[in-house]
Structure 1
Amino acid sequence: MHDQPSQPGVRISLGELIEMRHRVREVQLFSTPAQRSPLIGLHHSKLRGRGVDFDQVRAYQAGDDVRSIDWRVTARTQEPHTKLFHEERERPIYILVEQSARLFFGSGLVFKSVLAAQAAGLIGWAALGHNDRIGGLVFGDLEQHEIKPRRSKQSLLQLLNRLVRANQALSGNAGGNRDSLALALRRAREVLRPGSLVVLICDERTLGDNSEQQLQLLARHIDLLLLPLSDPLDHALPAAGLLRFAEQGAQLELDSHDADLRQAYRSLGQARQARWLRLAQKLGVPLLALSTQTEMIEQLREHLNAQRPRKTQ
């Protein structure tokens, strides 16, 4: 596939995603020892399962956890031995990012597909700078492309390159698998070990019953960060007269001056937002909803400031 010339806000280029590394310092996504970020709770202290790596075996001492006894060494030496572990210094961060036809749209600063790519790039560079293993899965209407998590710039560049190729192949023709998110989440459950962090960047409208169920299963052992994307036109229909829509040969006409129609449309948008909020609260995970209306880093800063505990007087 030939690299299309970048159309600002409509298409993303690899150069733009590489440049995103210079913007990491503008928003504290992951903590430093001197400054606790709201996401540090996700980052190392809230690992589910055994969030540690095996280190060595030594003779059992009073007070050791009996669950850590190494029965093989104990049987061989006839003396109780226990396994020692040390905390992981890095963790796999797996970015699930959507590039489907439903994202190839925007009435704000950028298309939703571009916003998704920008967010994935920023989080990828932040994770790499935090010494984590980075990988992910780019999913769309028909295909998904996976990059296994590794602690290397090459791994991140592979993910970003896949993202750009998927982005530049997008057109306004919808189609393919409507449950592509559920399939992507199922794949994440198959390959990721407990204590990993999944960052989900997808259209707000992508969430369905199957994908919600997959997220609940994933959240039992994996930490989650949810970034649903929307456009102002997802939530409110302007009073612009007769609107014509076409998809796969089907035509639809709507009279946007109809107040009842606009109210029903607004209610659907509010219901989608409420569903994400309920899900995030139920799973106890951060929700950083992004809109094409405002600059991305500005929105992330606002989210993180809102999550930071306020000092009491």
Structure 2
Amino acid sequence: MPSSSTHIATPGIQVSLNELIEMRHRARELQLFSTNAKHSPLAGLHHSKLRGRGVDFDQVRVYQPGDDVRTIDWRVTARSQVPHTKVFHEERERPIYILVEQSRRLFFGSSLMFKSVLAAHAASLIGWAVLGHNDRIGGLVFGNNQQHEIKPRRSKQSLLQLLNRLARANQTLHSELQVAGDDFSLALRRAREVLRPGSLAIVLCDERALSDSAEQQLTLLARHTDLLLLPLSDPLDHDLPAAGLLRFSQGDAQLELDTHSSDLRQAYRQTADARRARWKLLAQKLGTPLMPLTTQSPPLEQIREHLQALRPRKSR
């Protein structure tokens, strides 16, 4: 496996593979899944009723009254002249697939870290927590018209491959801006192709990535997999400071904004509020947890707060 551990990362701006590996120690504090179902905030996801092929073959035994006739093993029945049925058991591991964005639009931050670093740290924490729960871990790093996929396996090597891809993608974000495509929709489409029923897809993307196409792909993906949505943002995505005339450039295009204009700042805030409301409405429609993350604090603290809010309340 190619190594990116020798890269010297600037804290908060870029990440290294070693940095993501070291986060395994903090992941122990992140109780995404609990063996005690009633204390697990994501129990509804991880122990949901299996859909489709979420079971493994166990054994063949003599048919008993009440058994589903569709599970009769006709070969064994014909050979023994006694009806036999196949017995299945719920698989102990489930594929968990982390989709994490590393695109140029995430290469920005006004607080503790860049959004690209926030995505990498959160994905690493979740990956180590998943591995500690003995689930199969895989994922897709996407952005800048590229995809790097690691198939889910219950293997530390699989997670290290994913983190290596993540670190390498993160370290190239300083390069020239490429033509933007709908990378998020394409990544979701790929997830639909490879994930089998009963899998869990954990999505880490820019809050601004929710296009009509992406929303459609998320809705289709939710039909046969569970979802956990973690949109990423920076305070400047939601509010413009009254900083006077600001100039922005992208290639040959230039834009000037007079941030002293209260109308401009209000319109900017309303657009951001609508964006957040869209995520919330989608999560409610799909029945999936929504855990937005911001660059203002470490992801471990934020995810723990979200999990605490999701934790089932004790009945009086």
Q: Give the TM-score range, shorter chain.
A: over 0.9
1:87 deviates by: 1.3
Could you report, residue by residue, the CA deviation over 1:66-94 in whole angstroms, capped at 9, with x for unpaired residues? 33223443445444321101111111111
1:157 aligns with 2:142: no
d(CA) in 1 for partners of 2:263, 2:50: 48
| 1:41–1:34 distance in 2 versus 1, CA, 3 Å | closer
Aligned residue for 1:37? 40
Q: Secondary structure at the match of 1:281?
A: helix
**Structure 2: which amino acid aligns with 1:276?**
W
Aligned residue for 1:238? 241
Aligned residue for 2:190? 187
1:311 deviates by: 2.1
Indicate conservation of the 8 Å contact 1:135/1:148, yes or no.
Answer: yes
Superposition pairs of residues 1-313 of structure 1, within 5 angstroms = 4-33=7-36, 36-171=39-174, 173-313=176-316
1:194 deviates by: 0.7
Indicate conservation of the 8 Å contact 1:47/1:223, yes or no.
Answer: no
1:59 deviates by: 1.8
Give the TM-score normalised by the residue count of structure 2: 0.94
Indicate conservation of the 8 Å contact 2:113/2:295, yes or no.
Answer: yes
d(CA) in 2 for partners of 1:263, 1:72: 71
1:36 deviates by: 2.5
Indicate conservation of the 8 Å contact 2:14/2:117, yes or no.
Answer: yes
Could you report, residue by residue, the CA deviation over 1:259-284 in whole angstroms, capped at 9, with x for unpaired residues? 11101100111111111111111111
Identify the range of structure 1 (30-39 vs 258-267) with the bigger mean alpha-carbon deviation: 30-39
Indicate conservation of the 8 Å contact 1:60/1:82, yes or no.
Answer: yes
Indicate conservation of the 8 Å contact 1:173/1:247, yes or no.
Answer: no
d(CA) in 1 for partners of 2:37, 2:292: 27
d(CA) in 2 for partners of 1:252, 1:9: 27
d(CA) in 2 for partners of 1:227, 1:256: 29
Indicate conservation of the 8 Å contact 1:91/1:132, yes or no.
Answer: yes
1:192 deviates by: 1.2
**Structure 2: which amino acid aligns with 1:217?**
L
Indicate conservation of the 8 Å contact 2:200/2:228, yes or no.
Answer: yes
d(CA) in 2 for partners of 1:174, 1:255: 25
Stretches of structure 1 that go unaligned for 5 or more consecutive residues are none
CA RMSD of aligned residues (A): 1.7
Question: Aligned pairs, how many?
Answer: 313
Q: Secondary structure at the match of 1:178?
A: coil
Could you report, residue by residue, the CA deviation over 1:5-51 in whole angstroms, capped at 9, with x for unpaired residues? 21000001111100110011222111124873111221133432242
1:294 deviates by: 1.8
Identify the range of structure 1 (201-210 vs 46-55) with the bigger mean alpha-carbon deviation: 46-55
d(CA) in 1 for partners of 2:244, 2:49: 52
d(CA) in 2 for partners of 1:70, 1:175: 56
1:151 deviates by: 1.1
1:178 deviates by: 2.5
Indicate conservation of the 8 Å contact 2:53/2:196, yes or no.
Answer: no
Q: Secondary structure at the match of 1:5?
A: coil
Percent identity between the two aligned chains: 73
d(CA) in 2 for partners of 1:234, 1:72: 62
